[in-house]
Each structure stands twice: as C-alpha cells, then as structure tokens.
Structure 1
Amino acid sequence: MRVNRRLMLQAAGVAVALPMLIATAASAAPLRIAAIVQSLNTEYNVLWADAAKEHPALADGTATLTILDGRQDVLTQSNLFDTAITEKYDAIIFIPVDIDAGNEPLERARKAGIPVFGSNTVVSKTELYDAYINSNDVEAGEMLAKAVIDKAGDDAKIVILEGMIGQSAQVQRFQGIQNVLAGKPNVTVLGQNTANWSRAEAITLMENFLTANGDQIKGVLAENDEMAVGAIEGIRNYGLAPGSVPVAGVDGIKDALEAVKRGDQLMSILQDAKGQSQGAIDLALNKLIDGYKPRAAVWDANGGSLAWNEGKEQHYYVPWLAVTSANVDHVLSAH
C-alpha cells in the first residue's frame, strides 16, 4: 500500500464537496511495519530495536513498529514471516539469521505484496530487497585484522573467534580477515572456531585455545564484541593480564567500549545501530508514502554522513567507526 499524503490533504481541504474524504484523511491508520530480528538475546539486536523504537515517525503516529524475535533460529524467522504476511503488515524489516535460509521467506513476503527491507545482516539474494542498509562487513574484518596484526607484529601467532557460521556478518567479516592475512604470509593462525556471537562460548573457546597454545598466542580476532569481551575473560581466567594479548572486535557494545577504556581491548569497531535501524524505517516509509522526507539523523539531508539520494538506491552502507583509547571517552559519552 502506498499512501499519497499530499493528495489526501488536498482532498480534505475541499470540505463542502468531499466531507467523507475529509474524515478518511483525518483518521488514516498508521502504517504497520514488522521488524524480524535475529535475537533479542544479543546486545546489538537490542540496541538496534531500542533505536528503531525512537524513530520520529513512530512518535507522531505515521507508523507503528512491531519487533519480532527470531531467537537465532531460521525456522522461527520463517514462521514470523508467515505471521507478518497473515496479519498483512505494510512492510517488513529483516535481520536474517542465515545468509541463504533467509531468501525463501523473503520471497514469500514479496509474492504476498509486502515490501521487505534489509538491515544489519543480509540474505545472499540481495536483489529480493526493495532496499537495504547495513555496514560493510568485509571492511570490518579488514579493520580488526589490521589493528591486531599491527600491534602483534607481522610474524604473530593469532586465533580467530568466528560468529554463527552462515550469517552474512560471519561470512563477510571472515573474508575481510582473509584479505589481510593474504598479505601477511608470516602470520600464523593457531586456532579458528565459532563461538556463535556468544560471550559465554567465547570464554570457553579462548580458554581452550590458551590451553593448547599457551603464551604463543599474540593476538585475538573476534568477529563481534560479545566474543571479544568473552575472549578477554578467558585470557584473565588463564592467568594472563587482560591487555597483554591484543584483542579486537566489532559492534561497539558498552562492555567492549569500557574494555577499550581500561586497556583490556585494543579496538572496537562501532556499528551504528541507530543509523541502520532508523535508516531502514525511512526506506520502508519512502516506499509507502509519496513525497516522504527521511527523518533519521544518519542521512545527509539531516546533517548525517550518508547520502539519501531521494531514497533511490537499493543499498546503503553506514560507515564504521574504529574506537580506540584516543576516542573512546567521546564515544562512551554519546552511548
């Protein structure tokens, strides 16, 4: 459903001729958006959802937003698509659990006439989206690998903590890591395994890496900050001082930023949850409302750095921010 609010207001002004249309315009129901996220047990998804709920279009009644928890399970997400289709939502925002498994439910929504907008992680068939907004995960992998290797040395022995296998962030961040390692032939990967984005699993995995390799490990590449913080705890549990082994992660969650401030974590790559979530809502409303003006702060139209270009692009990249000891206080003050 696409709404031309300008025409509705013009029609409403013809009070004598069209009294019924006036009433219709005045009582137009809010557009209904469903956001199907990966899991509300992860801090980034919670940050994403909280930021989305603060979009100005929700406050003024232009739209409503329902957050649906995928519980890190592809079948649950598929069933939530059925729910959104049955309940005839006007648009869906999708953060898929799996890069391939998310294609089929997205196709079902499109066949039902419901536009779908990507945010954060993506499906492999990105052409199915009406539009999507995320950050370049290959670039994030490159950034964290360079930071750790620059600190640990070009002949360092490192370990890699991967996210849930098959998610686009895991696939693309690992590609970025591989891009850097290809140019660093003397760097040795002593261990590589998934901790499924989980802090608890990362503690155990890091302890196992240390038990097998001891103080040979000179750097840790964690594909997200939950695992980075877990790796730091594993280092502490093993009896080493946090900060003695360089650790970098991605997302900019508060605990990671505090670890950067303490010197326990080398770097956190801040992922703009507000830009991605509110940007996705703007893309959905731009599809549904003629003449829509974006309202998220991320867009250049509102003083941000991301070019809106009248909402005509299919893909938008929100920039990363490398958080180090040099800028962590400023980032924390705005967190």
Structure 2
Amino acid sequence: MKKVLAGFAASTLAAAIASPAFAADPVRIGAATYGLQGEFMQLWSNALEDHPAVKSGDVEVTVFDGRYDALVQSNQFDSMITRQYDAILFVPIDADACVGPVIQATAAGIPVVGSNTRCNSDQLASFVGSDDVLAGQMVAEEVIDKIGGNGKVVVIEGPIGQSAQVDRAEGIDSVLAEHPGIEVLERRTANWSRAEALSLMENWLTSHQDEIDGVIAQNDEMAIGAIQAIQASGRSLDDIAVAGVDGITDALKAVQQGQMATILQDAAAQAQGALDVALARLGKADALPLSETWTTYPDLAWNDGQDDTYNIPWTVVTNDNVESLLAQRQQ
C-alpha cells in the first residue's frame, strides 16, 4: 500500500509477518528524498517497495518528499527523530545544509545512510550511490566525441550546491580542459527540471542562433527539455549533440530514436543497497544482504555492510542494450 502526503510522508510500505532475523515489530526506516517531481527519484522511492524485507513486512519504509528545499528536509528529520525511526536513508538537496540534520539524527542514536547525493558530513553511517565525477566526464565525452572534438556547447546544471551538480561539474570541467577546441557558450542551472531546461534552451537558441553544436546536461530531464526546445525551433538533432545522465524512461526512448545519449544510474540498486546497509548497521542483516544489488554488481563487495562508500557502476546506454533496459522498466 502506498500513500502520498504533502511535505512530510510520501509513502508507507506496510508491515506484516516478521522473519527470525527481525523483531516482532517491523523496523521503521525513513527515506528522505530531495523531491519526487522527477522520474529518477520516483524510481528510487518505488524500488524500496520491492525490497524483500519490505515485501515480507519485516521493514516499514516511509518516504518523505523534500520538495527540493533544505529547510523542508530539516523539518522532516526533526519529525523522524521525534517519532524515533530506527534508521534514515538520506538523499539531500544540498551537500552542506544536510550536515546539521545528520548530526542531530546521529546524536539521537539513529544511523543515517546517504544515497544518490552526498552530504558533507563524516557522521553518515555509509553512502550508497554512484561516482558523479565520473558521470560528468562520461556525459561530456559523449557530446565532444559526437561533434568531433571541436565546436561550441552549452552546459545545463542541476541545483547549485547539490553534490551531483558539484561533482558532475568537476567531471565535465576536467574533460573540457583536455579539449581546447571546445567553447562553452552558456552554463546555467535548470534545477533538474525539464520545463526550466526547455525555457533556458529556447533563450540560448535565440541568442546564439546556429552556433550551438552540443548540449551537456547534468541529467536526462534537462536534456529532454533541451531536445524539446531544439525541435520546436526547427533545428535538427542531427546538428546538435545532446547527452544526459540517469537513464530515465523518456531518455531511453530518445536513445532508441537517435536523439540523445545517456548513461544509466541504477536507482533501484542505490535505494535497495542503502536499505541493506541500514539493516546491517542496525544488526538486522544476515551474512548476505537481501536485495539483488550485490548479485547484479558482483564486483561490488558487500563487506558485511560496513564500508563507508558503495559506488554503484554506471551503464552506458547503447543501441544494443536500450531495448532490454526498457523492458526491465516495464516489469
């Protein structure tokens, strides 16, 4: 059963029969997302429903919609601490503003496992996500390779100050530094938003007319917004290379149609892996974790859930694997 609540709770995944590894009452986990408007965080949140411990009723997960606001997330932490949740999975909107809530939860004896986006705190129990510096490098290389190493590009960034924006920018910049033939015409945030990116790209196409050769977008929602603006302007996507990050459903379809490139960030592995680690830190995990994260990525060592960081690998979406990736999304 899933219910959406404004501000604090977004979904409650019900409890029933406990297995021998768990107490009679379900383990209560809060999952604090930065926001549920985009598909990627919806995939991340929905994946928690499919975790074996949640499906069995041994774990009850409540998903919080942070509404892209650090203050909202802080208030949600206050609520979770007051309600004495057993652990928190945290996807912060701001890498610095998240530090205070993590300190408060830790002081209350509630372990916080970061996932997807990082928090600049040494008090996180662990982090389960992906290397965003590498993602920035990969998305920049996709565009630069497509335009032959020379040309003019625009860069569309995520919310300023979120770790994914900071790290992907670092990766993009490292690649740009190796290609003096690439000129960056514009660089601004569209806050992970398709609509904001569409408006931004419309303005850039007007300002720069036929100068833009490529679009480096820090996520797929913004890449698709740019594509919509390009198509509406009458320009051909054969003339402008577009690449994004995440592998959301619309991006996979756009790859099929030859409109863009993307790299898949595994939302399910990040979410379920983070829950596995949280259970391990609570002493509720058996010798082997319950989710498929660790068999899907056999080179990712479990180490009893005690590592500081678990980086889920990226998958480049190609014509060879896009159909199977879409089929998995429809299951």
TM-score (norm 1): 0.89
Measure the CA separation in 1 of the matches of 2:251 and 2:166: 22
* Larger-gyration structure (1/2): 1
Q: Quick check: 1:38 aligned with 2:34?
A: yes
Q: SS where residue 215 of structure 1 aligns?
A: coil
**Alpha-carbon distance in 1 for matches of 2:136, 2:162:** 14
In structure 1, the residue matched to 2:15 is none
Matches within 5 A, 1:1-335: 28-125=24-121, 127-265=122-260, 267-289=261-283, 292=286, 293-300=288-295, 304-335=298-329
- Cα offset for 1:325? 2.5
Letter in 2 for 1:31: V
Counterpart Cα distance in 2 of 1:48 and 1:225: 15
AA at the equivalent of 2:58: T
Distance 1:153 1:53 in 2: 44
Distance in 2 (CA, whole Å) between partners of 1:277 and 1:243 is 36
Q: Write the deviation string for residues 77-118 of structure 1: whole angstroms up to 9, x where unpaired.
A: 000000000000000000000010011111110111110000
SS of corresponding position for 2:180 = coil
Q: Is the 8 A contact 1:141 1:173 kept in 2?
A: yes
Distance 1:239 1:195 in 2: 22
- Counterparts of 1:162 and 1:187, CA distance in 2: 18
Question: Cα deviations across residues 167-218 of structure 1 (Å, max 9, x unaligned)?
Answer: 0000000100001011111210011111110000000111111111111111
Amino acid at match of 2:162: Q
8 Å contact 2:280–2:306 — kept in the other structure?
no
Verify the 8 A CA contact 1:95 1:118 in the aligned structure 2.
yes
Alignment deviations for residues 102-135 of structure 1 (CA, whole Å, 9 cap, x no partner): 111111101111100000001112x211111000
Partner of 1:16: none
> TM-score, structure 2 length as denominator?
0.90
Match of 1:145, SS state, is: helix
* 1:63 Cα deviation from its structure 2 partner: 1.1
Distance 2:50 2:267 in 1: 12
Query: How many aligned residue pairs are there?
Result: 310
Partner of 2:210, secondary structure, is helix
* Runs of 4+ residues deviating >3 angstroms: 302-305
Taking every aligned residue pair, what percent have the same amino acid on both sides?
Answer: 49
Contact (CA 8 Å) 2:252, 2:322: kept in 1 or not?
yes
Give how far 1:26 is off. 9.4
Q: Distance in 1 between matches of 2:233 and 2:210?
A: 10
Q: Quote the RMSD (CA, aligned, Å).
A: 1.6
Deviation at 1:289, TM superposition (A): 2.2
When residues 195 and 291 of structure 1 are mapped into structure 2, their CA distance, relative to the original with a 3 A threshold, is: closer
Distance in 1, matches of 2:74 and 2:129, equals: 21
State whether residues 157 and 219 of structure 1, in contact with CA within 8 Å, keep that contact through their aligned partners in structure 2. yes
Distance in 1, Cα, partners of 2:172 & 2:191: 17
Give the gaps of 5 or more residues in structure 1: 1-7, 10-24
